[in-house]
């Protein structure tokens, strides 16, 4: 859902810590899919440890799809215009609707090492985007044995009472098959942002984070009204990332905090980590708190990515204008947050960092704590960098030669800056999208030499 995501997040849109830097790329590049076969963008999602690739491109037939690459063969799991074949409700709309037909993904979609896929997709067809964003969307599970199975649908009972009415961006599936996802349900808690009345019953619509087990049991992780660190309560939560220990990194807003850049059903996020054993919630980047970067204060914390050790990589903004003009990639581990790269830093190739993301999954991390992120440089070029044990190195940049062509940019969505979703597996293989200087583009896997 490219145009809406740009409006949502772009409206929402290096110094080396130690060691010597590597100035040139030490990767080989393998094309997975050609942009000419799709309608303008890829939305890269996951490269598993076995090497399967999941992505959610714009389809030539309309809408978006959920596609799986396996040993050179691409399988379409779901696509725009296809009937959902589920029993979910469709909230009455004031505009025409094709519900329940698939339309667009609320990416990034995700896949675990067993080949289980989790995705969120709109259900109003390819010509309708109902408001509020996420209404009528459904959550689905797929694997080669069972095919596509609904997980969370509008009309299903929500923990705490009432029904689910949709979902939102970012879904996470761990290797145990547990799916963590935003759910749109009703709350009677007072919220700090523009609201939409509940379709039935008291209260207003709000986003919470929920867990769906492989057997289909849905439980709450953090939902509106739940106690927040330091007092007050959460009035929305979303963007979950989870591991097998039950740790969950997520974004959200605390009612007593300033509601920066309010919009329907939300405002700028803070980032948090919930411990899977104790249930304790730790602020990672709370709006108004001091950051570890030169005494700067957080104005937003987004895209928290979690590994099996409970480490979190995320993007944070410090700009007084709340426009991500002064942002950074950060790394949290064992109670300490350190800088990976910040606007103004000199990068390994001598370039100066102008922007990290922000868009969607512009930062990724594996279980070893390797962090990869996309970057826009002050000279207008774009690049991918890897941070490993406090050391930055170049993965790819404008001018890097690949078998499909020389890279011109990493702007998958027409943001005007680097904005490609990323993934890195345990072997250090990196999934990303690039346009080429001679035209066209490709979905690429970078493999360390």
Q: How far apart are CA 433 and CA 146, in angstroms?
A: 30
- Helix (H) / strand (E) containing 4: helix 2-5
| pLDDT at residue 318 in the model | 97
Residue with tokens 């100066």, as numbered in its chain:
352
What are the residue ranges in the chain where pLDDT is below 70? 1-23, 94
Burial classification of residue 95, based on how many CB atoms lie within 10 Å of its CB (0-12 exposed, 13-18 middle, 19 or more buried): exposed
> What CA dihedral angle connects 312, 314, 318 and 323, to 10 degrees?
-160
Per-residue burial over 20-37, b = 16 or more CB atoms within 10 Å of its CB, e = otherwise: ebeeebebebbbbbebee
| pLDDT at residue 93 in the model | 76
> What CA dihedral angle connects 422, 424, 425 and 430, to 10 degrees?
90
Q: How far apart are CA 238 and CA 79, in angstroms?
A: 24
| pLDDT at residue 15 in the model | 30
- Helix (H) / strand (E) containing 447: strand 441-448
Q: In what order do the strands lie in the sheet with 138-143?
A: 110-111, 117-121, 138-143, 147-152
| pLDDT at residue 2 in the model | 55
Q: How far apart are CA 247 and CA 257, in angstroms?
A: 24
Contacts of 279 (CB under 8 A, 6+ apart): none
Q: In degrees rounded to 5, what are phi and psi of residue 56?
A: -135, 75
Name the average pLDDT for the chain.
93
Q: In degrees rounded to 5, what are phi and psi of residue 58?
A: -70, 130
| pLDDT at residue 317 in the model | 97
Residue 244 DSSP symbol: T
Tokens of 392: 């930055």
DSSP strand pairing (371-377 vs 382-388): antiparallel
Residue 105 DSSP symbol: B
Burial classification of residue 321, based on how many CB atoms lie within 10 Å of its CB (0-12 exposed, 13-18 middle, 19 or more buried): exposed
Secondary structure E strands in 293-417? 300-306, 312-317, 327-333, 336-342, 353-356, 363-365, 371-377, 382-388, 391-397, 401-402, 405-409
Q: How far is CA 173 from CA 46, 142, 179, 241, 306, in A?
A: 11, 11, 4, 8, 11
Tokens of 179: 């799916």
Q: How far is CA 371 from CA 193, 244, 299, 406, 431, in A?
A: 33, 20, 22, 24, 13
Please say whether the beta carbons of 347 and 14 come within 8 A: yes
Q: Map out the domains of the chain with their CATH numbers.
A: 2-448 (2.130.10.10)
| pLDDT at residue 360 in the model | 77
Can the peptide bond before residue 364 be classed as cis, meaning omega within 30 degrees of 0?
Answer: no
- Residue 41 exposure: Cα atoms within 13 Å on the Cβ side: 24
């Amino acid at each position: 859902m490219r145009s809406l995501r740009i409006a949502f997040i772009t409206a929402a849109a290096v110094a080396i810590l130690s060691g010597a830097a590597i100035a040139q790329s030490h990767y080989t590049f393998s094309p997975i899919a050609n942009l000419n076969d799709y309608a303008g963008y890829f939305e890269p999602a996951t490269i598993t440890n076995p090497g399967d690739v999941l992505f959610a491109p714009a389809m030539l037939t309309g809408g978006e799809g959920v596609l799986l690459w396996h040993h050179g063969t691409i399988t379409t799991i779901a696509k725009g215009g296809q009937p959902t074949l589920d029993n979910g409700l469709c909230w009455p709309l004031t505009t025409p609707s094709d519900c329940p037909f698939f339309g667009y993904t609320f990416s990034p979609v995700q896949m675990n090492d067993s080949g289980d896929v989790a995705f969120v997709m709109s259900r109003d067809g390819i010509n309708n985007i109902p408001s509020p964003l996420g209404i009528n969307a459904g959550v689905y599970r797929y694997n080669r044995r069972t095919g596509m199975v609904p997980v969370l649908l509008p009309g299903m009972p929500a923990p705490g009472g009432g029904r689910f009415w949709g979902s939102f961006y970012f879904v996470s599936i761990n290797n145990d098959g547990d799916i963590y996802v935003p759910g749109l349900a009703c709350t009677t808690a007072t919220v700090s942002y523009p609201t939409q009345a509940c379709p039935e019953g008291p209260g207003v619509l709000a986003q919470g984070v929920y867990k769906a087990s492989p057997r289909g049991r849905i439980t709450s992780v953090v939902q509106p009204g739940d106690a927040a660190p330091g007092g007050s309560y959460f009035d929305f939560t979303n963007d979950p990332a989870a591991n097998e220990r039950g740790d969950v990194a997520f974004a959200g807003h605390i009612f007593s905090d300033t509601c920066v850049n309010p919009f329907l059903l939300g405002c700028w996020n803070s980032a948090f980590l919930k411990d899977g054993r104790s249930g304790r919630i730790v602020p990672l980047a709370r709006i108004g708190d001091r950051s570890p970067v030169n005494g700067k204060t957080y104005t937003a914390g987004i895209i928290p990515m979690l590994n099996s050790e409970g480490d979190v990589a995320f993007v944070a903004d410090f700009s007084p204008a709340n426009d991500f003009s002064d942002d950074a990639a950060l790394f949290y581990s064992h109670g300490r947050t350190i800088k990976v790269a910040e606007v103004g830093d000199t990068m390994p190739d001598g370039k100066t960092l102008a922007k990290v993301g922000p868009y969607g999954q512009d930062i990724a991390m594996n279980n070893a704590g390797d962090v990869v992120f996309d970057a826009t440089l002050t000279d207008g070029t774009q690049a991918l960098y890897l941070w490993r044990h406090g050391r930055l190195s170049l993965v790819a940049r404008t001018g890097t030669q690949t078998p499909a062509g020389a890279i011109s940019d990493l702007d998958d969505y027409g943001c005007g800056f680097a904005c490609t979703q990323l993934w890195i597996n345990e072997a250090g293989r990196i999934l990303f999208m690039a346009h080429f200087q001679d035209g066209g583009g490709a979905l690429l896997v970078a493999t360390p030499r």
